[in-house]
Structure 1
């Protein structure tokens, strides 16, 4: 039997690669095949504005006094453990960024800040290719907290916490949306300081080293604020240089020589970052590296001067702030505290999932345009369309039966031609007459 011609491959072709027996070009519908439903798509964002950040903190019932302390302690724990394990500063930047992104979505009542900080450092070690086992990180944190009780990573006391850290690692990856983009301001900071202080003489080198020492410690303190998840690298570095020159009261002309437009930043963004750092230095000076270097009166004077400059030139405290949006934002109800089964008090390896997913699979897409095209392509197969129309229907009227003829007719209600069909509206008396329903009651009728 001859093979089916529809299944026969094309064998003859001309010089251009096409011929009489060539297979037809695929239709436009075959280019993008219809697959399974896209589920729930999540597009990660690298930066979050202050207004959106405050709304997210309000949704989790953010307690400012308590959560600020947890934020400082968590970043400080990451820094000390990083130094103990001799990890580079880029691992610290990555871990602190993941720590902030996780804590703005989940309250501390559900997840202990120490567990989140160590798990963020564990994820950052993998991302930055500075591999450390979870037990090594837990052991370093234990030895720092208990100097007289040094342990080794092979100790069995770290088995349960290691399983929990691995489970929390998956949750951190989903929280950041598998977006591993992190900025490293220290690298750019060193380049800009070298541009400000070229190697001409010994005096310039000493001034540059002193300036870099303060600026580099300030770049570490910067991660104790939310500025790294709000501003790009150029803005962070410019704010550090400006604030360092104000603290040292020197080299202002060299800072002004750096054009902000050439470094892809705005004055409002730089002022916002500087004020974020000044809030940190004036409220928690002992929890920072740069705060103990200067007197508190000097720090307050710098902050007052910055506030005067903002109000004089009519800058906003937070760049891009919308007063109308702040008034129209709905009031969020604070979440309830964690229960006894919360991972903060439970050492099991299972992690509490609080993502609000009703159906489908949560997918993370990095191209917003592709996600929009996919959503439009799939939406037509899952959209219910309804059409309303009116139909006139004639219903026949049912004829009354003989049992209720006495009720519907105009005659006597009890006259049924001698037949007792149906019910009587009034009970009969003992005398037998059907008109004596008031018999025996005085003042009603006759006796």
Structure 2
């Protein structure tokens, strides 16, 4: 056994200990009546072993990717590879969701009272909704927004209003859009890496993106859409043709109106700009112009981001966040991150940090990791981070390119096993 493999096993042991500790301490705290508001802490779920008609499909997809994924990613023509990866990612996400059945796994996920869809039928005037959005953020008032609507800028609600207007209303169509949009990360992330001169790393990490355990929460939560928008924006910002940067800026600007936490996208965005071989200044200026254009449009419509952020922090502590203990979640969140990113993430980051190679394969996961740590320490991400941090997790997965090739199939199997265990042992609420 080589020294590197022993170090990987030590890191894996630390990850396992972190997850076990978070589960054990969470169970004790729940048993004592501490309001974690997460019955299966550190995940927002309940313990409910089950199987479903998605089970054989998920097992088949996992086996196929573990068996052939590494070879296909290495050799397939680029365009065909990305198309195939997208199709497999959709299949993986759908099969995991269908372990819970069509209604429980997809159609019913976005219809509870706390979700955006409950507000959609009430939106008859989009201009009035935007101009009066902040008036309805705080809770315990007549007309207060539902939990998720209040907790995000109005762009998130606009997405589901738009889907409804084009005939994709209701829980089933909205859930499928979440799946299809979330799976685009397996195209956007490799495209960004290739644009930044790291095609080999893009190919090496692609099977891990396809088989991401976080797909459990991609199907179906709005955060899958958020992850897709953010990844596409960063990919366009990285594109060699600098005139695509304004489009990236528009998407990243809109991402700021999907989630307040996306202000942390500035870290991977700056990493992308710094890693560009050419036209950095032009890409920065045009990308910033795109962000500014989106901000101006929302401001003219009557929504000011900073007012929304100030009020959403107040709303945050009107609910469960006031009870959830920071002393537990500040480290238990990281256990949830391990379950979302999979056990390969620790060894992958270790290899990335000790590798002699530098560039996108190093700085993009580092930037994503710093963003996650900032979100964790802020205290504004207490629990439910397995879905909230998905837009950053997909960039952390870039680090898997550094895993030794001879061990990649084993790590892919561990990734698949994690997703399958979570989805079969727990009933997740997202």
Normalised by the size of structure 1, how large is the TM-score?
A: 0.26
Normalised by the size of structure 2, how large is the TM-score?
A: 0.27
Larger Rg: 1
Higher relative contact order (CA 8 A, sep 6+): 2
